[in-house]
Amino acid sequence: MGKREVERAQIVCRELKKTIPEPRVELNYSNALELMVATMLAAQSTDVKVNEVTAGLFKKYQCAADYVAVAAEELEEDIRSTGFYRQKAKNIRAAMAILIAEHDGHVPGHMDALLRLPGIGRKSANVILGNIYGVPGIVVDTHVGRVSRRLGLTAETDPVKVEMVLAQLLPVEEWTAFGQRVVLHGRYVCKARKPLCDECVLMPHCDYFASQIEEL
C-alpha cells in the first residue's frame, strides 16, 4: 500500500459519490432485528429473494422471542426459498436466544458482541453497525473484493484483509458509504463475468480495464 493506492481510493470515492449519491443497503428492514435476520438470510442468496421472503416473515416474527418460540421446522419452511434454510434457521434461533439471554432481546451495537452471534460475520456486523448504529465500517462482500482488486486498491483475497486495507486508504467518515457504493457498483456495473466497462466512470483509473486493452 502506497501513495498510488491512496490516491486511487480517493478518486474512486469521489467518482462513486457522483453516480451513487445516496447509497443504501438493498435489504428491506424497519429495525435492527429485521436487518440482522435479513443479512443472515442473504448468505448464498440474493437481496431480491430475501426481500420476497421477509415481506411476510417480518409480519409473523416481530421480536426475538417469536423466533425462539416457533418450531424449528416451521421457521425452516418460512425461509426455505433463501437456500441453506436448515442452517439459517438454526443460526437465527440460536442468535435470538443469545439476544434474549444477554441483550434483553435487542441487537447489540458492538462488533465483538455481534460476532458472537451464530450466522453473523464481519460483513453482516458492519452492515448492522453502519446502518443502524452509525458505527463506521466497510462492508466487504464478493463485489467489494472483486472491484477493489480490479481497481488495484489491493491484491488481497481474504475479505477481512481487504477491509483492513481499504480502511487504511480512506478516512473513517467515508467507510460506510464507500463500502455500500462499491457493493452497488460491483452489482450493477463492475459485474463478475461481463463488467460494463464502457459505462463505468472508473474506467480511466482501472487496472483491470488497462490490462484488457493491452491484451487486444
pLDDT at position 90 is: 98
> CB under 8 Å to 149, separation ≥6 — which residues?
155, 156, 157, 208
Selecting among 88, 123, 191, 194, the annotated active-site residue is: 123
What average pLDDT does the segment 38-43 reach? 97
Specify whether the CB–CB gap between 88 and 49 falls below 8 A: no
Say yes or no to pLDDT of 215 above 80: no
pLDDT at position 1 is: 64
Domains of the chain with CATH codes: 3-24+138-215 (1.10.1670.10), 32-133 (1.10.340.30)
Say yes or no to pLDDT of 216 above 70: no
Residue 123 annotated to the active site:
yes
What average pLDDT does the segment 185-206 reach? 96
Selecting among 141, 161, 191, 207, the annotated active-site residue is: 141
Among 96-100, 140-144, 168-172, 205-209, name the one with the lowest average pLDDT. 205-209
Q: What are phi and psi of 134, to 5 degrees?
A: 70, 25
143 membership: H or E segment, kind and range? helix 142-150
The rounded distance, in Å, linking the Cα atoms of 135 and 124 is: 13
The rounded distance, in Å, linking the Cα atoms of 49 and 73 is: 20
Residue 198 annotated to the active site:
no
